[in-house]
Structures are given as structure tokens and as C-alpha cells.
A and B are shown apart, each in its own frame.
Chain A
Amino acid sequence: QVLLQESGPGLVKPSETLSLTCTASGGSILSYKWSWIRQSAGKGLEWIGRTDTTGNTKYNPSLKTRVTMSVDKSRNRISLTLKSVTDADSAVYYCARSTILGVLTWFDPWGQGTLVTVSS
């Protein structure tokens, strides 16, 4: 079973860019879709978007203007950048292997998550 590990700075200043990486081990990222999902403190889950290893992406419309996802096949990892962050972007960020196909949607497995705080 593939294991996912998110990494990145735990603290980002307002208006700056958040950059996170998800490294997969125990399996290849090829031929799968990968999503980023976040969870604000004490709140529910928010899907940020997904990418596949051909560079095809789909983003949450509410975040679309600030989000970029990409993959590094040689390093078996998926990246997320979120521009112009505010306090509202403080959350635990998860990466997950995703099935989003027609009527089917599910996420499995998930990484352990990484906490990002936006503060000056």
C-alpha cells in the first residue's frame, strides 16, 4: 500500500505563497490522480483540487485563481502551491490518492497531514 507524507513550512506570512510537497513511498504515483484536501481547525474537509501524472488538473472553483498543482515523476511526489494566503488558509493539508471519475469519487489512502499556519 502506498504511503503518503506531506511536508512544507508550518508557518507562512499573509500575502505570501504556500508550497507543500507530498512524497509517495511503497508505490508509484503514475497512472493515478492525486488530490489535496484541507481541514481548518475544528472544521470539516475542503477539497482543493486534483492532478494526474499527465499534468491534467482540476481545481476547486473557489481557489482556482490561487492554486497550482504539479507532479514530479522522477521523485514520486505531488506539489501544491497556494498564492496570496490569508488567515483563512490556515489548516491541516492532506494529500490523497483520488478516484474522481464520472459518478465515482473517493480518496484512499491519505497522508498524515501537515499543519500550516498563516501568521505574521
Chain B
Amino acid sequence: QSVLTQPPSVSAAPGQKVTISCSGSSSNIGSNYVSWYQQLPVAAPKLLIYERNKRPSGIPDRFSGSKSGTSATLDIAGLQTGDEADYYCGTWDSSLNEVVFGGGTKLTVL
């Protein structure tokens, strides 16, 4: 069981918007920024969102992140079939003294 809790799966139709949640505690999300990663099938994770809501070069603005208290969310707008992937959240945990990740959410674009 992961320190950060994500729904195992979400789904939506092409063109729609989906939200992936990441729930933690005061020692991780509550006091640190969350980063988000996309892992396409048979590929390495790729950074999508970091710091407050920054995107690396090449990541479209359809991807956005936010945080409220001890939870974070990743929004993906204008869904495309190419967005089908596993999505992970991650952050530092000040109590455990380590980086922690969510268990991952599988996005299906119907």
C-alpha cells in the first residue's frame, strides 16, 4: 500500500476532461509540492507537472495540477486516445524522510 492514495482507474471519452486525485497527509502533500508523471505502456515515467503547476517543455497545457490541503489533483482536458497511460503522483515525506509515490491511476480513454 502506497503512502499517497490514488484511484486505481479512471475513464472518460475523447475530448472530455478527467481528474485524477492524490491523497496524502500533512507530512507529505500538506507541506511539499507534488509532481505528476505519465507512464505510457512499456515506457519509462515522464514528468508532467512539478512545483506549483509548472510543465516541462513539450507538455501541453491540457495537463494541469493543483493542491488543496493534503490532496492534489491532476486535470487532463481535451482527452486524446494517446493519453491512455498510468499516472503517478509523488512528493517528499518529511516524517518518513523519503520520496513517496502514489500507487498509480490507469486512465482509459473510451
A-side residues, CB < 8 A to B, are 35, 43-47, 60-62, 94, 99-100, 103-113
Verify B92–A103 contact, CB threshold 8 A.
yes
| Cross-interface CB contact of B99 among A103, A105, A112, cutoff 8 Å | A105
Secondary structure class of chain A's binding surface, majority of residues: strand
Instruction: Report Cα–Cα, A61/B51, bound state, in Å.
Output: 24
Verify B45–A105 contact, CB threshold 8 A.
no
Q: B31 contacts which chain A residues (CB < 8 A)?
A: 103
Verify B88–A104 contact, CB threshold 8 A.
no
Instruction: Report Cα–Cα, A109/B98, bound state, in Å.
Output: 19
Q: B24 within 8 Å of A by Cβ?
A: no
Instruction: Report Cα–Cα, A86/B25, bound state, in Å.
Output: 31
Q: Which residue of B lies closest to A107 (CB)?
A: B47
Given the known inter-chain contacts A61-B96, A100-B92, please indicate yes or no for A107 contacting B101, CB distance below 8 A: no
Verify A44–B104 contact, CB threshold 8 A.
yes
B22 to nearest A CB, angstroms?
12
Instruction: Report Cα–Cα, A109/B46, bound state, in Å.
Output: 7
Instruction: Report Cα–Cα, A107/B39, bound state, in Å.
Output: 13
Instruction: Report Cα–Cα, A87/B44, bound state, in Å.
Output: 22
Given the known inter-chain contacts A44-B2, A47-B99, A103-B32, please indicate yes or no for A108 contacting B104, CB distance below 8 A: no
Q: B23 within 8 Å of A by Cβ?
A: no
